[in-house]
Structure formats: structure tokens, C-alpha cells
DNA sequence: TCGATTTCATACTCGAGTGGTAGGAATTTT
DNA sequence: AAAATTCCTACCACTCGAGTATGAAATCGA
């Protein structure tokens, strides 16, 4: 239940690329704009490239650009690109774990957790973040003051 | 977005205690019933005790029992007991992270993720798992075949 | 073709976290 | 007193997270 620096950096980087008026965008510029160590960012951009989310070119006037429209890249895609599956239980996928005896229904709980995770992460796109127009139901979720309270 | 062995073990252990007809329950029995290394389980039970979820007694006829009714212990409580906060971003709580520029709305996304995580984890109790009667909306979430598919 | 710029690949470090194991001390019952 | 059980401290092997360093490969302008 932890969002790593890599995921955080990756999403912010894609938003920055989407919001940039010039193209391609250099890693150095992205690192500066979002306060990310630039060599570390290069590794993240490598993951994004291998996952097919960005393209790149070397040399002067080189840099990175989105491989598809920003409204077709969900936050869930970014997480899968740099970290793997959205949710896992002891290293396995939720639907693969098996429980004996009284704990059997626990698998359904993990499945439900993943469903609710996906509901947010699959629906929020890079374009939505860049334009500050999150989907309606996400805005509703954050509207409740309880959402900001630290139980 | 990973559920550790410790959390998995802790929930299953509490369910097993709740479902046991004798009380108190010995660690050795719990380890056997759920297939958990028994010395490792002792450490988990120590966390649960320090968090006030179980009580214990030593000696022959010693063991562990729930510190409160099973329907007052949510899965979220168990996670907090053995792992800390439900959701964190780069080590900080979601409401504490700050973003500059285009990525500013990203904080709301993480908040929404936590809201949806809580929706499941705060509502499912140890009693519900032990009796295989999950809350209605959780059952609905898992009813969709898509929920079991591995995107 | 030269040189500057930038991405790309590889390897490394350092600390923290995960999933255990081992040995023995403290407590409780018989 | 003896047996059973929890409890405490320490340790270990491995992986992961976050970041750094070095240099090779590609691309452009001149």
C-alpha cells in the first residue's frame, strides 16, 4: 500500500511532458521542473520507453515525447510500466492466492481492494492531471473532508 | 500496492482465533492451521498484542484471544498494527505531499486512492471473514467477472 | 568529418525492508 | 519443581529502493 518514488516521478514526468509546449523535452528540463535527480529520472524514462509510453531521440534537439495521446495513458498504465502489477499478495496476484479453512473469504477481500484501486487508477489519465480536470467521481471522493483526515 | 506476508498472516491468524471454539488459542495451533512458520507468527502476534488487538497468557493453557469483539476489528486496523499507515507516497502521508506546476492535481489522485482503499478495508471485519458474510457492496465488487481478470 | 549534445547501457553503492531462525528468559499451571 | 508456553533480543540472507558514476552510442549543426 505504498506509492514509490519511481511511480510518483514517472507520473509527474509524463504530466510535465504533456504540458510542455516544445517537443521533444529533455530529461534535464524535466528533472529541473519537478525536482527529480536527473540520473535517476533517466532510469525511469528508460522504463517508460520500454513500456511503450514514450518515444525518444538522442543528440542536440533530442529528448522525450508521448507515444500516444495523453488522454489514453492512465495512471494504472504508468504503475504497471515502472513497478509491475497494481496489487499483489505475498508476491502473487490476488486471484492466485489460496486459503484453507476459516480464512477462505479473504481472497475476495483482496480482489475487492484491487477493484477499488483500479476504479481510480484506470480512470485518471495524464491529460486529466495536466488540465486539472479529474473525473467527476474522483473529485467527489476527495470532496469529503474525512478523505483528508488521517485515521 | 503490495500486501505483505505479515499482513496476510496477521489477518488469517485473527480469523482463526475468532473461529476457534477453545480459548485461548496457542501459537503452535494457529501456525499449523494456517501454514505459517511458527516463530515468525510469534513476532506477528507480538505486533497484534502491542497494538491492543489481542491479549495473551503464558504457561500451560496459555495462548491468545481477541481483545475485542471480532466485528469491531477491521482489516484496516490489522494493517495499521503490523505495517503502519494504509497508504503512503514516498514515505509521507498523501495529504502531506506537495507538487509544483502541472502535477499539482496529483495529490488529489492519491487521496482518492486512499479513500477507495479505506472503503473496503475499514468495512470488512474479522467477524465478516470468519462467517463468510462480507458486506454487500464488497460482494458486488467481486461479482463482476472483470474483477478476476488480470489487466 | 568534427565536435557538441543528448540518450542509453551497465555497474555500483548504501541503507532499509522482508521473511525468516535461534536461544534463552519470564510467566503460569500442574 | 517441572513442564508448557509466551516473550525478548539478536541475528541472518536476500531483495528492493533510491541514487551515483562512467562511458558508449546516436544525432545534429557547422
Lowest mean pLDDT among B8-17, B94-103, B120-129: B94-103
Asked if strand D comes closer than 7 Å to A50 Cβ, the answer is no
Give CA–CA dist B100/A128, Å, rounded.
Answer: 16
Beta-carbon contacts of A105 under 8 Å, excluding residues fewer than 6 positions away, are B128, B129, B132, B134
Q: CA-to-CA distance for B102 and B99, rounded, in angstroms?
A: 8
Residue B131 φ/ψ, nearest 5 degrees: -100, 5
Task: State how far the Cα of B58 lies from the Cα of A80, in Å rounded to an integer.
Answer: 47
Going by pLDDT thresholds of 50, 70 and 90, the confidence category of residue B1 is confident
Q: Mean pLDDT over all residues of chain B?
A: 96
List alpha helices for A4-62, DSSP H: 5-19, 27-34, 38-50
- Asked if A4 contacts A46 with a C-beta cutoff of 8 angstroms, the reply is no
Quote the minimal CA–CA distance from B43 to chain A in Å. Answer: 17
H or E segment at A57? strand A54-57
Parallel, antiparallel or unpaired: strands A54-57 and B88-89:
unpaired
| CA separation for the pair B97, B90 (Å, rounded) | 9
Please tell me the predicted confidence (pLDDT) of residue A151: 87
Residues B78, B7: contact at Cβ < 8 Å?
Answer: yes
Secondary element (H or E) of residue B15: helix B5-19
| Mean pLDDT in residue range B109-133 | 98
Residue B115 Cα, gap to closest chain A Cα (Å): 6
Q: Do B106 and A119 touch (CB under 8 A)?
A: no
pLDDT tens digits for range B50-66: 999 999 999 999 999 99
Residues within 7 Å (Cβ) of strand C: A 26-28, 39, 42-43, 45-46, 49, 56-60, 62-64, 90-91; B 4-6, 37, 39-40, 43, 57-62, 83
Q: Which nucleotides of D are covered by protein (CB under 7 A)?
A: 3-10, 17-22, 25-29
Instruction: Point out the nucleotide closest to A46 (alpha carbon to C1′).
Output: C8
**Mean pLDDT, range B117-143, rounded to an integer:** 97
- B29 to A61, A106, B25: CA distances (angstroms): 67, 20, 7
Write out chain A residues lying below 8 Å of B129, CB-based: 102-103, 105-106, 109
Q: Average pLDDT, stretch A83-108?
A: 95
CA of A41 to C1' of D21 (A): 15
Rounded to whole angstroms, the Cα distance separating A134 from B109 reads 8
Distance from CA of A14 to the nearest CA of B (A): 9
Considering the entire predicted model, what is its pTM?
0.96
- CA A109 from chain centre, in angstroms, equals 23
**Residue A1 pLDDT > 90:** no
Distance CA B26, CA B31 (A): 9
Q: What is the pLDDT of residue A72?
A: 98
pLDDT tens digits for range A18-69? 999 998 999 999 999 999 999 999 999 999 999 999 999 999 999 999 999 9
Distance CA B26, CA B6 (A): 18
Question: Which residue in chain A is spatially nearest to B108 when comparing CA positions?
Answer: A142
Q: What is the model's pLDDT at position B77? A: 98
Across the interface, whether the CB atoms of B142 and A3 are under 8 A apart is answered: no
Owner of C-alpha cell 498523501 = B94
- Taking a contact as any Cβ pair under 8 Å apart, which residues of chain A between 35 and 94 contact chain B? 35, 75-76, 79, 83, 85-90, 93
Amino acid at each position: 500500500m505504498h506509492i514509490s518514488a519511481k511511480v510518483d516521478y514517472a507520473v509527474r514526468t509524463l504530466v510535465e511532458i504533456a504540458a510542455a509546449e516544445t517537443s521533444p523535452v529533455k530529461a534535464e528540463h524535466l528533472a529541473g521542473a519537478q525536482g527529480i535527480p536527473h540520473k535517476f529520472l533517466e532510469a525511469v524514462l528508460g522504463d517508460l520507453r520500454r513500456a511503450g509510453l514514450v518515444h525518444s531521440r538522442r543528440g542536440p534537439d533530442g529528448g522525450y515525447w508521448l507515444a500516444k495521446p495523453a488522454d489514453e495513458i492512465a495512471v494504472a498504465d504508468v504503475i504497471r510500466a515502472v513497478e509491475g502489477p497494481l496489487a499483489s499478495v505475498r508476491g502473487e496476484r490476488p486471484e492466485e492466492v489460496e486459503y484453507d479453512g476459516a480464512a477462505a473469504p479473504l481472497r475476495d477481500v483482496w480482489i475487492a481492494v484491487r477493484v477499488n484501486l483500479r476504479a481510480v487508477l484506470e480512470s485518471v489519465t495524464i491529460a486529466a492531471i495536466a488540465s486539472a480536470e479529474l473525473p467527476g467521481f474522483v473529485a467527489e471522493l476527495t470532496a469529503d473532508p474525512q478523505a483528508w483526515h488521517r485515521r
